[in-house]
Amino acid sequence: HELHNKELEVTDADKPFLVDLKLASVDLIERAGDKILLHIGDCIGPQVEMYNERERQFDIEIDYPHFLDRKIVLQIPDGYKVKNPDDLSINLSYETNGKTTMAFISSYKIEGNKLEITITEQYNQVRWPKIRLRQFYQDYQCSSRF
């Protein structure tokens, strides 16, 4: 793997911290009859981490607003095809007073034997009412097909 712009002193918004790595894992694959299921979302870990299994008692507060950009490139083996690529397109975005406050947006493109998934995750404020995050999580669960 390679790390770019890893110096903690970097404050230039045009120089994001980058991690470039290659991953090979059988844990992402599941057989279902004659099909192979690939759990591609597991490559980025939990997409929404600010929820509880039980009813939330308090509003949500994070340490700082943050923005994550991810790109996953999958080599499709010869003889295989991606059966439902449109399931990789998700667009959840919430606004307050015309400004995006949180979002999970993903898209894809297939070129030859490469599937490229682009994922943007945004949390642009530090506090949300618990009801707002509950709705975001419910919408995410309903639309998530990763």
Model confidence pLDDT, tens digit, residues 97-131:
888 888 889 999 999 999 999 999 888 888 777 66
The pTM of this model reads 0.69
pLDDT in tens, 42-86: 777 654 444 445 666 777 777 778 888 888 888 898 988 898 899
Q: φ and ψ at 101, to 5 degrees? A: -105, -30
Distance from C-alpha of 107 to C-alpha of 118, rounded to nearest angstrom: 5
Taking the CB of residue 72, how many other CB atoms lie within 10 A of it?
17
